[in-house]
């Protein structure tokens, strides 16, 4: 086990790795294009260090994307207190910029992990905690844009992608299960952090100390992640920015599909509470819808990950995209309190599989695990543009028509278009559309 887990200490394996041509780069195809080199075929798919890597990634995602799932709490708080003089659209741009930078920074965080290993987590974690401290002292709108929008977004992304890329070093055949467990940390955070923030903001502590307490609470959790997350393979000396993924037709088809999926799937997350109040639900109950949605996404991120290892990563992503698109098209059929709550549960489960399944699916574009960080980072950086433009587009449609049927139809069709893109990805792969990939 130890020899398998530490190939960098075996000179023979290192020599073999150097002498083996990079077939993946030569062919430009990931699925079915190559077999992993012997040095890269040693992923244990289990064992203490492999499971600890999953735990470490889950801890990081609990602190990063899990906290990002509290955006609705900040939106409501800023509108009535610190930024009451600003419009809701202005406040929404703080969260949109943060979400965009989280995914966009994969373009740097992924390649940095491939080149330097897990040490990249340390400076990112320090910046992330400092972003909470900086936000706690914010007064003006531009203060929040810089501290919460830019600094928190950049450090969040620089933490998230290296921790996810590390899983590919330890998991191969069961990678979907490991990634699902890791990303479930963001769902758990989406349940915990909104409740914590709501209680803190309503207490006598005030905004400043509430943010400082949250920042300090991140430190022990991220410390666990530091010790749990390790790299099995030696760093790969490559350039930080490369166009290699964009010469891979499987990668191009897949990120196009995911771009459409991400454009469509985030709308209920942003607007479900507003829709519920529009349908007569009390503001108190509507405030819990996002927590309910995040709770339902927890099994939605684990179960499809396990199924992906058995039935194929692209096949499960296809099923997730199809079901999410249909659910979004049915949005306006939920008109009662009970119906809207059921809708939140169903949507949370279906869309949760896109988050975990999308990350796992990007790993099929390359057979070389030392390039996973680069492919994952480049892919999610491209998809981040969808996260940035979706809120203002849908906000403009809501302002124009004053109802939710138009955005329901548009975003449902976008998700179905992304689902069709998954089929195109399978068609251009070596294994074909009917493969279990």
The answer to whether residues 255 and 434 touch, using CB atoms and an 8 Å cutoff, is: no
> CA 298, 51, 41: angle at the middle one, nearest 5?
115
| pLDDT at residue 173, as a whole number | 73
| pLDDT at residue 26, as a whole number | 38
| pLDDT at residue 28, as a whole number | 43
Mean pLDDT, residues 403-415: 91
The answer to whether residues 162 and 61 touch, using CB atoms and an 8 Å cutoff, is: no
Taking the C-alpha atoms of residue 282 and residue 404, their distance in angstroms, rounded to an integer, is 18
| pLDDT at residue 147, as a whole number | 94
Span of 146-160, 245-259, 284-298 with lowest mean pLDDT: 284-298
- 264 versus 377: the higher-pLDDT residue is 264
| pLDDT at residue 21, as a whole number | 41
- CA torsion sign, 133 to 134 to 135 to 137? positive
Taking the C-alpha atoms of residue 237 and residue 253, their distance in angstroms, rounded to an integer, is 27
CB-based burial, 339-351: b 16+ in 10 Å, e otherwise? ebbebbbbbbbbb
Across 117-217, the runs of DSSP E, i.e. the strands, are none
Query: Longest C-alpha distance within the chain, in Å?
Result: 69
| pLDDT at residue 436, as a whole number | 66
Topology of the domain comprising 44-428: Growth Hormone; Chain: A; (1.20.1250)
Mean pLDDT, residues 221-235: 82
- CA torsion sign, 126 to 132 to 137 to 140? positive
- pLDDT digit string, tens, across residues 297-333: 888 877 877 787 788 888 888 999 999 999 999 998 9
| pLDDT at residue 13, as a whole number | 35
pLDDT over 70 at 10, yes or no: no
| pLDDT at residue 364, as a whole number | 73
Domain extents in the chain: 44-428
Which residue pairs, CB below 8 angstroms and at least 24 apart, start in 10-16? 13/38, 13/39, 14/39, 14/234
Q: Report the candidate in 401, 308, 311, 398 with the shortest Cα–Cα distance to residue 360.
A: 308
| pLDDT at residue 34, as a whole number | 39
**pTM exceeding the 0.85 threshold for the entire prediction:** no
pLDDT over 70 at 194, yes or no: yes
pLDDT over 70 at 18, yes or no: no
pLDDT over 80 at 142, yes or no: yes
- pLDDT digit string, tens, across residues 239-249: 666 677 778 88
* Range ranked top by mean pLDDT from 33-47, 182-196, 313-327: 313-327
pLDDT band at residue 362 using 50, 70 and 90 as cut-offs: confident
């Amino acid at each position: 086990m130890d020899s398998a887990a530490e190939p960098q200490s075996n000179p023979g394996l290192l020599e073999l790795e150097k002498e083996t041509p990079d077939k993946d780069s030569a062919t430009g195809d990931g699925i079915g294009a190559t077999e992993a080199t012997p040095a890269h075929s040693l992923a244990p798919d289990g064992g203490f260090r492999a499971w600890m890597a999953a735990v470490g990634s889950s801890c990081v995602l609990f602190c990063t994307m899990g906290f990002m799932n509290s955006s609705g709490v900040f939106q409501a708080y800023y509108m009535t207190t610190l930024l009451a003089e600003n419009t809701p659209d202005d406040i929404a741009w703080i969260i949109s910029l943060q979400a965009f930078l989280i995914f966009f920074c994969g373009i740097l965080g992924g390649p940095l992990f491939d080149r330097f290993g897990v040490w990249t987590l340390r400076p990112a974690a320090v910046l992330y905690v400092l972003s909470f401290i900086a936000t706690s002292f914010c007064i003006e709108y531009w203060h929040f844009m810089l501290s919460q929008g830019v600094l928190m977004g950049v450090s969040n992304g620089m933490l998230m992608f290296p921790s996810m890329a590390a899983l590919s070093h330890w998991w191969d055949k069961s990678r979907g299960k490991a990634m699902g467990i890791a990303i479930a940390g963001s769902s758990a955070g989406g349940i915990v952090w909104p409740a914590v923030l709501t209680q803190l903001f309503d207490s006598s502590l005030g905004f400043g100390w509430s943010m400082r307490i949250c920042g300090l609470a991140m430190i022990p959790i991220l410390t666990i992640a530091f010790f749990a997350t390790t790299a099995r393979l030696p760093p790969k000396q490559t350039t930080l920015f490369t166009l290699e993924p964009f010469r891979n037709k499987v990668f191009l088809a897949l990120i196009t599909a995911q771009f459409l999926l991400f454009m469509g799937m985030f709308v209920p997350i942003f607007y479900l509470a507003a829709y519920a109040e529009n349908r007569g639900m009390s503001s108190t109950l509507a405030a819990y819808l996002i927590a309910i949605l995040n709770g339902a996404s927890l099994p939605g991120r684990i179960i499809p990950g396990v199924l992906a290892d058995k039935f194929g990563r692209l096949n499960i992503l296809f099923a997730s995209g199809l079901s999410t698109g249909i659910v979004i098209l049915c949005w306006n059929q939920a008109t009662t309190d009970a119906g809207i709550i059921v809708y939140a549960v169903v949507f949370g489960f279906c869309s949760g599989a896109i988050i975990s399944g999308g990350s796992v699916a990007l790993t099929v574009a390359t057979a070389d695990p030392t390039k996973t960080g680069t492919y994952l980072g480049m892919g999610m950086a491209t998809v981040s543009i969808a996260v940035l433009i979706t809120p203002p587009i849908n906000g403009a449609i809501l302002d124009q028509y004053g109802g939710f049927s138009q955005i329901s139809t548009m975003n449902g069709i976008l998700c179905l278009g992304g689902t069709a893109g998954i089929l195109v990805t399978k068609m251009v792969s070596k294994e074909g559309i009917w493969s279990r990939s």
